[in-house]
């Protein structure tokens, strides 16, 4: 067994508020884990307990087979990167990166070598004699990242490190963080509320809600097979239909849909209240009824009117009203151009029976 980080029945209370509730999680050595969830879900509190800045109310934290609840942050040898860069403005880039090593009384020649190695890692060697205010936000966060790596931490903890940066810089820097993590093979625990960020860089995503874990899985599994309605709603975009299930048919005020047996196989009943969902890209859009496939399931064919069209680059997103309900449909920009559809056009939507997900209401 490697140097794994294990959380067992971890709970944190602030007076009567339960910030983290009975969390159990095993993080493998060298794994990139993202805690994802809305504000107040407990993800940062969890990170702070791992770092040693918060003491668990209940449960234990193990690292490398040893309980570390009572180990002070400085003795855990975990690096941490915050949302704010927290660089010393009066020190050069090189001095900031080497600060932790200097405090440990590492010889100067070794510090200089380590600083150059790390600045090379993020392409900032030529900025080593500049001061933080002379750098861009992205460059400062790169410096903060390698500064946290200077003392050879066994785990790197990152608390929403990119949220203060512009969108394009965030995309570039998250790729940089993933590259650094892969090159060094270091365990990283990353906190974010940005679903795209979590899905794009992590090995596994921990989706949290109200202090509890909703689902832990690989990014593609989280997106394609969410285990709860919350995960389906929070990660990506979904269309939800609440109604009554009777075997393979779901009926509601919006009409009815046929679903396959596989879709409802996870439910403990075949009749009762249910919530079904479908991703916008799974819905088929047709301009008129004349070009519909012959074998289409008529129960799942709906006529609607385009209310809003939003251009999202490669994807065009349409808000379509069917039976008094709003449905979001995504198609490629290329297909949208071919169809020559516009706002207020009447269209047909087909909902494949096998592409729904079902949740207990």
Element (H, E) at 336: helix 333-339
Q: What is the pLDDT of residue 290?
A: 66
Tell me the per-residue pLDDT of 218-255, one tens digit each, with 9 for 90 and over. 999 999 999 999 999 999 999 999 999 998 999 998 89
d(CA 201, CA 258): 36
CB atoms within 10 A of CB 210: 14
Chain segment 295-330, per-residue pLDDT in tens = 788 899 999 999 999 999 999 999 999 988 999 999
Q: pLDDT at position 1, please?
A: 54
Whether 181 and 161 have beta carbons less than 8 Å apart is answered as no
Which percentage of the chain shows pLDDT scores above 70? 99
| pLDDT(199) > 90 | yes
Q: Any alpha helices (H) in 150-295, and if so which ranges?
A: 167-184, 195-201, 219-224, 229-234, 261-264
Give per-residue pLDDT as tens, 32-45: 999 999 999 999 99
For β-strands 249-252 and 271-278, DSSP reports them as: unpaired
> How confident is residue 164, by pLDDT bands cut at 50, 70 and 90?
confident
pLDDT of 236 reads 93
User: Mean pLDDT, to the nearest integer, of 276-304?
Assistant: 88
Domains of the chain: 5-230 (3.40.50.300), 237-360 (2.40.50.100)
Tokens representing 217 are 């899985």
Buried b (16+ CB within 10 A) or exposed e, 221-250: ebbeebbebbbbebbbebbebbbebeeeeb
């Amino acid at each position: 067994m490697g140097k794994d980080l294990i959380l067992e029945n971890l709970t944190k209370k602030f007076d009567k508020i339960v910030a983290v509730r009975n969390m159990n999680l095993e993080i493998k050595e060298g794994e990139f884990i993202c805690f994802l969830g809305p504000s107040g879900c407990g993800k940062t509190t969890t990170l702070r307990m791992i770092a040693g800045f918060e003491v668990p109310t209940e449960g234990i934290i193990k690292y490398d087979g040893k309980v570390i609840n009572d180990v002070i942050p400085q003795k855990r040898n975990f690096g941490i990167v915050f949302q704010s860069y927290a660089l010393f403005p009066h020190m050069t880039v090189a001095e900031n990166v080497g600060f932790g090593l200097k405090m440990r009384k590492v010889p100067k020649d070794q510090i200089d070598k380590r600083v150059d190695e790390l600045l090379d890692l993020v392409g900032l060697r030529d900025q080593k004699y500049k001061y933080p205010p002379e750098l861009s936000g992205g460059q400062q966060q790169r410096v903060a990242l390698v500064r946290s790596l200077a003392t050879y931490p066994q785990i790197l903890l990152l608390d929403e490190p990119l949220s203060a940066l512009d969108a394009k810089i965030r995309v570039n820097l998250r790729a940089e963080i993933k590259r650094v993590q892969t090159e060094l093979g270091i365990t990283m625990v990353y906190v974010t509320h940005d679903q795209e960020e979590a899905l794009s860089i992590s090995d596994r995503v921990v989706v949290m809600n109200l202090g509890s874990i909703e689902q832990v899985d690989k990014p593609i599994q989280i997106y394609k097979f969410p285990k709860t309605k919350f995960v389906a709603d929070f990660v990506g975009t979904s269309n939800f239909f609440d109604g009554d299930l009777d075997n393979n048919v779901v009926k509601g005020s919006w009409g009815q849909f046929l679903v396959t047996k596989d879709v409802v196989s996870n439910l403990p009943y075949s009749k009762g209240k249910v919530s079904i969902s479908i991703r916008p890209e799974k819905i088929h859009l047709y301009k008129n009824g004349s070009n519909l496939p012959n074998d289409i399931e008529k129960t799942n064919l709906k006529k609607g009117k385009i209310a809003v069209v939003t251009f999202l680059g490669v994807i065009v997103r349409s808000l379509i009203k069917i039976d008094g309900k709003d449905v979001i449909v995504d198609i490629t920009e290329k297909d949208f151009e071919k169809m020559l559809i516009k706002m207020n056009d009447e269209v047909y939507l087909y909902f494949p029976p096998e592409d729904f997900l079902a949740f207990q209401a």
